[in-house]
Structure 1
Amino acid sequence: MLKGYDEANQALVATQLTGDTDIKEGDVVQTSGLGGNSPANLSIGTVTKVKPDSNGLDREVYIKPYAQMYDLSVVTIIQRLVEDE
């Protein structure tokens, strides 16, 4: 789950990732589509760093976003629905 944006590292920060998930630098991060708020498989960025969180129970994943984040406040994703003809 995306937690926020780290300006110092110019990266998105994802948390709540269990240790059994294989994540490494260079991996492409995509939306899951879970929850129905956004479509699945939208690429958002590339993993630049993986480190344990402050409690040592989770990991923090730093993601270099494909979009410029410095002037972004709201993103709306519109999913096109194709009707049967």
Structure 2
Amino acid sequence: PADTASNYGVTMWHSFGNIVDFASFGNYVRYKHNADVFQGQSGSPNFYSPDGINFYIVGIQSTERYDGNYSAGINPASFADIQTWSAQ
């Protein structure tokens, strides 16, 4: 994450946590979670695994704040946006 410009940076390979709250905005969702994050991880995928074997991307890390960490949820509407943008 924030280690690209420094010889003394830190790389976080994984972090575990739970969704603690969420809010819907029209067709979109933002959720708050307690997984540990580090400066520079915005845009990193958030995964869900029901069995510890299969992993599914459910969100994109967006904000680290004093009151928690926030991610933009991936749902059919946001996935359609991503497909449209990638085709341009």
Structure with greater helix share of residues = 2
